[in-house]
């Protein structure tokens, strides 16, 4: 079973993603901010990360840079309502950018694709 780390300060988003990915056969670990996300990443065997950008303590961009430094082969999916914060994907910090919406189909499809590659 693949393990997904969801890092988002919005509890309703965390719970929604946890339930959705559990229903799709993933083991899901959640974190409320970037610092907790890095600790969870260090303590668990994570296969893919879904990461919000706008969070307290450490931003999603800061977390993505650190994660890619620790494990460059673990896919990082930015899941955000603020895509304007990212100017361009230079390939170093994240593998995919998905806009937050009530339809999780695109996010689920991308995570499935990245964990099966």
Alpha helices (H) along 10-104: 11-23, 34-43, 60-70
- 22: which DSSP letter? H
Provide the CATH number for the domain around residue 88: 3.40.50.2300
First to last CA, the chain: 15
Mean pLDDT of 60-85: 89
Mean pLDDT of 65-92: 80
Entry pTM: 0.91
Range of the domain at 56: 3-116
**Residue 88, pLDDT above cutoff 60:** no
Give 6-63 pLDDT, tens digit per residue: 999 999 999 999 999 999 999 999 999 999 999 999 999 999 999 998 898 898 888 9
Sheet holding 96-99, edge to edge: 27-31, 3-7, 48-51, 76-80, 96-99
Distances (CA, A) of 60 to 24, 31, 89, 116: 25, 12, 14, 24
Predicted pLDDT of residue 44: 94
- How many independent structural domains does the chain possess? 1
**Residue 92, pLDDT above cutoff 60:** no
Predicted pLDDT of residue 74: 95
């Amino acid at each position: 079973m693949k393990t997904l780390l969801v890092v988002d300060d919005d509890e309703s988003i965390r719970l929604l993603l946890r339930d959705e990915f559990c229903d799709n056969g993933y083991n899901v670990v959640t974190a409320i901010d970037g610092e907790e996300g890095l600790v969870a990443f260090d303590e668990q065997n994570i296969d893919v990360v879904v990461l919000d950008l706008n969070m307290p303590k450490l931003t999603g961009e800061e977390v993505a840079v650190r994660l890619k430094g620790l494990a460059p082969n673990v896919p990082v999916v930015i899941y955000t309502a603020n895509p304007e914060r990212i100017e361009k994907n230079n390939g170093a910090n994240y593998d995919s950018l998905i806009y937050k919406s009530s339809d999780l189909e695109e996010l689920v499809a991308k995570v499935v694709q990245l964990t099966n590659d």
